[in-house]
Amino acid sequence: MTVYLIRHGKIPGNIGKRFIGSTDEPLCEEGIAELKTIAYPVCDRVVSSPMLRCIQTAGIIYPGKEPNVYDELRECDFGIFEGKCHAELDGDPEYMKWIADNGMTAPPEGEDVDAFRERCVRGFLRAVHENEDCGTLAVIAHGGTIMSVMERLAVPHREFYEYITENGHGYITVFDGEKLEIRGVI
């Protein structure tokens, strides 16, 4: 099966370089305009995170295709860092520890990193298995979700942050039931 993993369009929090995970921000005008300039490949079916930014992105790039929503594809909850940017948090001891750990530990009152990644992979696998009757599947999700899936399933293996992708962009892959082979980028 061909699978497109596409990150949602820009939201105000992306422009402000804020930690936006569980906050349900809509796309901003700039994000909507950017999505309309990108040539997306045709797909048979669309699945999405339940977050508004992903649902809106799906509607813009695949009009007329109602996305199947998978809760497991939502972004990580950044806890007390949610909605804040580096400048607002710089010097905060809990934030400095989290940054020193390269974001590989749970933010205070936030989601456990390993649990987040497991959730994302579980949701992706459920989505592809439940849609295996289609030839091409577009997955509209978040940067962290895509990085989690790619780190676990893509070959050759790369580290989590090496799969970062810009808003509105992503990966063209082929899923063989166990691994994702990268065939291109969007």
Report pLDDT digits (tens) over 30-73: 999 999 999 999 999 999 999 999 999 999 999 999 999 999 99
* Full domain range(s) for residue 42: 2-78+112-185
Answer whether residue 62 is part of any domain: yes
What does the pLDDT average to over 159-170?
A: 95
| Gap between the Cα atoms of 77 and 81, Å rounded | 9
**Count of structural domains, the chain:** 1
pLDDT at residue 105 above 90? no
Q: For residue 22, what are the β-bridge partners?
A: none
pTM above 0.85, yes or no: yes
Answer whether residue 102 is part of any domain: no
Answer whether residue 135 is part of any domain: yes
Answer whether residue 23 is part of any domain: yes
The Cβ of residue 77 has, within 10 Å, a number of other Cβ atoms equal to 18
Tokens 């309309």 belong to which residue? 36
| Gap between the Cα atoms of 45 and 78, Å rounded | 30
Answer whether residue 98 is part of any domain: no
Answer whether residue 17 is part of any domain: yes
The amino acid present at 82, given as its one-letter code, is E
Answer whether residue 73 is part of any domain: yes
What does the pLDDT average to over 99-107?
A: 88
Output the domain CATH number for residue 36: 3.40.50.1240
Q: How confident is the model at residue 102 (pLDDT cuts 50, 70, 90)?
A: confident
Instruction: Note whether 136 and 42 are within 8 A (CB).
Output: yes
Instruction: Note whether 139 and 73 are within 8 A (CB).
Output: yes
pLDDT of res. 104: 84
Answer whether residue 101 is part of any domain: no
